[in-house]
Structure 1
């Protein structure tokens, strides 16, 4: 099989004027991809139950309609041992074929290709039947795996082949063999788990035997006219992982065995290096993809932290990859591809890599969705139907809840006016966006501003609304999204009104500045954000923070460079990838100031942070010398610092120049009518105004969308 995929072989007559390389078709010999954009595999939770396949079909169909060339399903197991969860999605019977046909038929209506990922979880499975190359327990599963016998291995190869054959019968255009992220084939490929001494262990020739056998069996079972991707771990990021020479050997062998497209996998789920959270720089691993591409002749696909067309275009144009895989960006915006094709990148709802509604849900066994797009995976339930009776709608508050409500209401055809008391939209996101590593949050504000303008929403900044104004304008619906204000300790803690004491909002807006030593009161998500803001060496310097510049929707602060990020986390470059797993010694970090992070409750700080990203924040504050204090009682603040009673009951003075209060928020609800006092308009309370939980943007955006969809 040969494929025409040279980045420089563009037919100039058919160039896309905006992103010519992204929209060049890719000839695979027996079929053609209409562009270079692929939606990568994401486990949504819908795959695991047959009665959800109608919802799964709608989810994929919406993205096919959005213009993507090819999509890859969440992981589907080839047998019971390979389950991620008990009774999770499989492809090993005729009944499975019938369910999956609902998905493939829905996708093919829109000239997009659909690939089924075959994933054997190995020791990552959450069930008692787990198996692996060696009986070494995973740190992310409670079950110790059974070592696979030769007979078991040979049967598993047959199971892969049967699964691929059934996938073809179900109408899939191909399969992806999952060989990265620490799942079964990766467990065989790496010394990290594979301690075998038989033909499936030892050197890389033995360790790759299972992966090669699987590819050969799948190719024989499915035939030549069937796309086969292999997701190869190009850097393991775990102890005793492979080195680049071994990865290249595996890639060449897999190509020879019959792989059509080589995909990029980065790191294991148990790796202590972040790979996809928002603080990872865009395209941070593309040099590893580019290095593998030099040694194979089949198309190579780049992945990980690519979320906007400019980045994707540069990767393909420079010859570092032939295809771009994005996963979460297609949760955020199903129509990403068509918007890029039409030169409307500023209208893309950008993935901010927060993980809060996708991966955090997956690892909690919940249905995935998206913080910035609550319709994701709810396409049949959260529907934005055009209204037959347009109404005058007032949205009070220009945070993400209010912007979400205004957006959906206008999208449905209502006449919408958005009121904001300040001179900037974005609400609490304006504080989050200045945290080093959270620069992507600028993109959400940009998206909403552009969409509201496009939809003709009247935006009134610097406008303090009162009930009389609302009654006079005769709105049919009033959506109160007035959000939250930081909880003040004035009157509750002696010295809280001193000039060196400030709220997180005063700090992050640039209204106040801090000294060289700082106490942060409150160790929730905001406390950790503030601690990172105060200690990170990159990002906007505190004394240079320009509040006016932050109001410009086109402004982006300089993010941490890939080189700085790698030094901080101890990751090699592709050209120096000779250390096992790609891990090297981390660089020495000298914090820019001393910070004390204090909480009242006893126990580990940050225990309530998000599941898939919380450990990254905890690692940052530890590596940057933040002194963590738990079980403290706040006694008083003086010009010397803050007096606390520590968890041993002893009085202690923390000598600090400044105190930042991150002790929660309070809802702003004065616009809500009293019982029996409601005017003709219907009032709706959403977001932080409804519940002052800690910066819960996921709930706020969904609240806005759901209310606007219902009126």
Structure 2
């Protein structure tokens, strides 16, 4: 029986456990450049015991950012400030991953605390942040009140594929050892995949096979400039939750196609294609996306990661025990408790006397625990 704290091998990379920190956008980058915030923010998850720590969604083109605060790897100069982050994560026993993406029609958006609405003249006045024109597979706005994106030309598609390829090379040079492609939640790759957002009639749209073409070409582009021994993961929305959108049967086929192109794991999320409102079909409860990871794993024959509303250690253990997924990933739970893996290990009986903690922490905590017990305080 495989456990949450058993190691897992993905190509030439060994993760010490089955726990990943999901990418969480911080909107603290400046012109795409990382800073000390990213070092501290991501470094604490390595100290907390996660096997895989993902940096946030990182734009492969400047115009592919969602907001002015997004991380980027569209130029070589952005590599240097990410290297201390990956070096620290590796030194503390975790593996550094990065999520590469392009916002497509969701680009030029305000940060969440500024409203998550399109950037406009007000942002120029208040923050010196100007809007830019978004691109997408088809000229369909993200939501009511949003500007229409430009429909991508063949040249723009090829340029974007080259941007993914170059970002993969930069990711390796920055010290990342796992790449995840952001092909979910209504971002550009997902926009090509979904019939809701892709109305093209050329080789990039139409039937399911042609709509999958861009995702396949992204996988090929990344694999061509990403070391063979490093894993490649795709985050997919396993359903759009909308009539006429992607269903799990479609995504199983997409996962099969990606596996044939050297993709090693599918990170199984859902939704995000139809604007800001949550679809009525989408009923959220703890672990509600796990069945999608289970089905893709079984039917597509590829490793999966379960994500979304997971926080209970025993429930996460059950996901791995039952073979529903090969890994679990959490985001907001880590913001609340960066030491979640260490606390989970104690709860599941996989840790004694703080042995999984770094010695600098564990020594003190064990000493306190022994004193508290000796004094009968708990």
TM-score, normalised via structure 1 length: 0.45
Match 1:259 to one of 260, 263, 288: 263
Structure 1 runs of 4+ with >6 Å offset = none
Q: Distance in 1 between matches of 2:32 and 2:277?
A: 35
Q: Look up the match of 1:244.
A: 248
Change beyond 3 A, Cα 1:50–1:231: closer
Question: Partner of 1:75: helix, strand, or coil?
Answer: strand
Name 1:216's counterpart in structure 2. Answer: 220
Residues of 2 paired with 1:48 and 1:307: CA distance? 32
Q: Which of 82, 85, 88 lines up with 2:64 in the alignment?
A: 82
Taking a change above 3 Å as real, the CA distance of residues 113 and 293 of structure 1, as seen in their structure-2 partners, is same
Match of 1:303? Answer: 307
Change (3 A) 1:148 1:323: same
1:81 CA displacement: 2.3
Name the SS of the counterpart of 1:76 in structure 2. strand
The answer to whether residue 157 in structure 2 is matched with residue 175 in structure 1 is: no
Give, in angstroms, the shift of residue 27 of structure 1: 1.6
1:162 has 2:159 as partner: no
Q: Deviations over 1:106-158 (max 9, x none)?
A: 21121101111111001011242210000111117733200001111011111
2:346 is the alignment partner of 1:318? no
- Residues 225-244 of structure 1 show CA distances to partners (whole Å, capped at 9, x for unaligned) of 11211001101123421122
Give the root-mean-square deviation of aligned CA atoms.
2.6
**Per-residue deviation at 1:273?**
3.0
Partner of 1:98: 80
SS in 1 for 2:300: coil
Question: Is the CA contact (8 Å cut-off) linking 1:124 and 1:140 kept in structure 2?
Answer: no
- Decide which of 197, 203, 216 is 1:199's aligned counterpart: 203
- Structure 1 position 121 matched with structure 2 position 103: yes
User: 1:628-707, aligned counterparts within 5 Å?
Assistant: none
Task: Pick 1 or 2: higher relative contact order, CA cutoff 8 A, min separation 6.
Answer: 2
Question: What is the alpha-carbon distance in structure 2 between the residues aligned to residue 308 and residue 252 of structure 1?
Answer: 31
Looking at structure 2, the residues matched to 167 and 52 of structure 1 have their Cα atoms a distance apart, in angstroms, of: 13
Q: Distance in 2 between matches of 1:79 and 1:141?
A: 24
Q: 1:140 to 1:33 in 2, by over 3 A?
A: farther
Q: Does 1:144 align with 2:148?
A: yes
- Distance in 2, matches of 1:48 and 1:322, equals 35
Alignment partner for residue 228 of structure 1, among 232, 235, 253? 232
SS at match of 1:257: coil
Per the alignment, residue 340 of structure 1 pairs with 344
Judge conservation of contact 1:47–1:74 (CA < 8 Å) in 2: no
TM-score normalized by the length of structure 2? 0.82
Question: Which residue number in structure 2 is paired with residue 25 of structure 1?
Answer: 7
The 1:285/1:104 distance shift into structure 2, 3 A limit, reads: same
Residue 51 of structure 1 deviates from its aligned partner by 7.2
Aligned-residue offset at 1:223: 2.3
Answer yes or no: is the 8 Å Cα contact 2:239–2:247 preserved in 1.
Answer: yes
Query: Any conservation in 2 of the 1:81–1:130 contact (CA below 8 Å)?
Result: yes
Instruction: Show CA shifts across 1:464-513 (max 9, x none).
Output: xxxxxxxxxxxxxxxxxxxxxxxxxxxxxxxxxxxxxxxxxxxxxxxxxx
Report the Cα distance in structure 2 between the residues aligned to 1:290 and 1:312, rounded to whole angstroms: 13
Match of 1:144, SS state, is coil
SS at match of 2:180: strand
Partner of 1:531: none
**What is the CA–CA distance in structure 1 between the aligned matches of 2:142 and 2:54, rounded to whole Å?**
26
Q: Where does 1:582-597 land on structure 2 (aligned, <5 Å)?
A: none
Write the distance in 2 (CA, Å) between the matches of 1:344 and 1:254: 35
Query: Which whole-Å CA distance do the structure 2 matches of 1:293 and 1:271 have between them?
Result: 29
Deviation of 1:92 (Å): 1.9
- Between the aligned partners of 1:103 and 1:263, the Cα distance in structure 2 is 23
Partner-residue secondary structure (3-state), 1:235: coil
Aligned-partner Cα distance in 2 for 1:228–1:53: 25
Q: Which residue does the alignment assign to 1:548?
A: none
The Cα offsets for residues 508-549 of structure 1, whole Å up to 9 and x where unpaired, read as: xxxxxxxxxxxxxxxxxxxxxxxxxxxxxxxxxxxxxxxxxx
Match of 1:521 in 2: none
Match of 1:62 among 26, 37, 44: 44
1:662-684 deviation digits (Å, cap 9, x = unpaired) = xxxxxxxxxxxxxxxxxxxxxxx
| Secondary structure in 2 matching 1:295 | helix
Q: 1:328 aligns with which of 317, 320, 332?
A: 332
Once residues 50 and 262 of structure 1 are traced to their aligned partners in structure 2, the CA distance between those partners, rounded to angstroms, is: 26
Cα pair distance change 1:50/1:86, threshold 3 Å: closer
1:288 aligned onto 2:297:
no
Q: 1:50 to 1:81 in 2, by over 3 A?
A: closer
Which consecutive unaligned segments of at least 5 residues does structure 1 have? 1-7, 11-20, 346-410, 412-452, 459-711
Cα shift readout 1:391-426 (whole Å, capped 9, x = no counterpart)? xxxxxxxxxxxxxxxxxxxx9xxxxxxxxxxxxxxx
